[in-house]
A and B are shown apart, each in its own frame.
Chain A
Amino acid sequence: MMHATAIRHHRIGLRRAFAGAVLFGAVSGPSSAYTVDLTPAAPLTVYLQVGVGSFTNDYINGGQPGNNTTINTVSATVAASVLGNGTAQPMTTNSTAAQSYYDGFTFCSVPGQIYIGGFYRTTGGKTAAATVTATVPAALTDATGDTIPFSKIAWTSSGNGDSGAEPFPSGAFVSGGVQSVGAMSSNSWNESCLTFSYLNNTVPPAGTFTGVVRYTLSAP
C-alpha cells in the first residue's frame, strides 16, 4: 500500500508573485493552486472460484468477494459392463455453484458442471492476462496403491447462453505437472463451466481412485 500526502506545490510561486508586485507594481494579485496527491491504495485484486465460492451478493447488486475453503469433487462410477470400452464416462460434482455471482444467472448446470471464474483488477492500461494453472498429480490412487493416470480425465467448456471462445477452454489433464487451463483479461469478469469425463479406455483394477488438482490464479 502506498500513501500520499496532500501538499502545496506552489508556495514558491506565490512568493514570487508577491515579489513581482513589489518590484513592478503590475501584478494584479497573488495567485495560487491547491494540489492533492492521489495514490492507488489497493490497485491489484484477484478472485478465483472453482466450484463453490463466496460473494456477499451478486456483483450487480454490490456484492463483494470472500474466501471459501470448500474443496469440491467430481466423480464417476464405471459399471463393469462398460469398463475400458472407450466410451467416456461423464463425471458429476458435489458443487452446487450453478449461478454466476456476476448477476445470479444460472450459468452452469449441476451436478454435471463445475463453475470456474474470477477476475483480476489492476490499474493502468490493458496488461497481460492473468493465468490460471492446474497443479496435477501423476495419477489417481486407491487404497492399495493402484493408479489411474490423471491424463484419463478431460473436460469440455461451455456456459449457458455463451457463444465464442471460453476463457477456460476444453482440455485434458497432463499427468504430473503444472498446466495452463485458462486466462483472464484484466478488469473483466471471466467464467466457464467445465464438464469432466473419464476417458475409460483402459481397464484398471477395481477400486476407488482419488486425487486432488489445485487451481492457481497468477496475475502479472
Chain B
Amino acid sequence: MTPFRAIAESRTKAAGRRESCPAFFLLCALSIIWASAARAKTVTIDDSGTQSLEPSVSLRWKSATPPRSGADNLLVGTTSIRVRINVTPWLRRTGRIYLNLPAQPPGPITVSWVAQGRFLSGQTQSGNRVLVYAGPIAAPFMEDVLTFRFSVDGTLVRHGFPVSFHFEMDED
C-alpha cells in the first residue's frame, strides 16, 4: 500500500465511523420524540374568568362592493376579550397552551387575534388550534386582552350565530 492509499483508506474508515454516529443519534432522538409524544396529554383549561370588553360583535362586509365573480363575500367583525385562564393544575410546571377553534356551523371561520404580550398573536381556521403560550406556568392564572377578528363567508350566514373556542394545555 502506498502511503497515499493508506491515508485514503484511513480517511474512508474515519468517515465510516462518522456516518455511524449520526445514525445512532438519530435513532435515539426518534425514540425520545416518540416517548414524549406518548406521554403528551391535552386538557381543556378553565376559562370561566374570561370576559368580553365590548357588548356586541357585529359582522360587516369586508368590501361593501361585490366583485364581478361574486367571490369576495367575506363578513368581518372584531371584538376584544379579556382572557383569563386558570392554570393552577400546572403551577410550577411547563406546558404548551393552544387556542382551539373547533369546526362548527355555519362553516369555515377564520379567526386572527392580536395579544398584548402574555400570549402569542396568531390566526387559525375552524377545525384547528394554534400555540399561544409555551413555557413555565408561574402563576395560578394567566391573563391577556386579545383583539379578535372573525371572518366568515357571507353566503353561509343568514342570521346571527355563536362561535365557540377554548384553550387547552398540552402537558409536558
Contacts and interface: CB of A to CB of B under 8 A. Distances in A.
Interface of A: 1-6, 8-9, 11, 14, 28-43, 45, 47, 59-60, 62-65, 102, 119, 121, 123-126, 185-189
B56 interface: yes
Interface residues of B, number: 48
Interface string B132-170: 000000000000000010101011111111111110000
A34 B66 CA distance: 33
Contacts of B64: 45, 64-65, 121
B75 interface: yes
Contact of B47 (A32, A47, A59, A187): A32
A39 B160 contact: yes
Interface stretch (B4-12, B18-26, B38-46, B117-125): B38-46
B70 A185 contact: yes
Given A35-B163, A125-B155, A187-B154, 10 more contacts: A14-B48, A29-B46, A32-B47, A34-B81, A36-B52, A37-B162, A39-B59, A123-B154, A125-B158, A189-B68
Contacts of B48: 8, 11, 14, 30, 32
Nearest to B72: A187
A28 B43 contact: yes
Contacts of B158: 123-125
B95 interface: no
Q: Which of A32, A33, A124, A185 has the most CB of B within 10 A?
A: A32
Contact of A42 (B52, B61, B63): B61
Nearest to A31: B44
Q: Which 4 A-B pairs have the closest CB atoms?
A: A6-B52, A41-B58, A39-B160, A188-B70
B3 interface: no
Q: Which of A5, A34, A121 has the most CB of B within 10 A?
A: A34
A38 B152 contact: yes
Given A4-B57, A14-B48, A125-B155, A38 B160 contact: yes
B52 A32 contact: no
B16 interface: no
Nearest to A40: B59
A2 B157 CA distance: 14
A119 B69 CA distance: 12
B79 interface: yes
B73 interface: yes
Contacts of A119: 65-66
Interface string B67-86: 11110010101010101001
B68 A102 contact: yes
A40 B166 contact: no
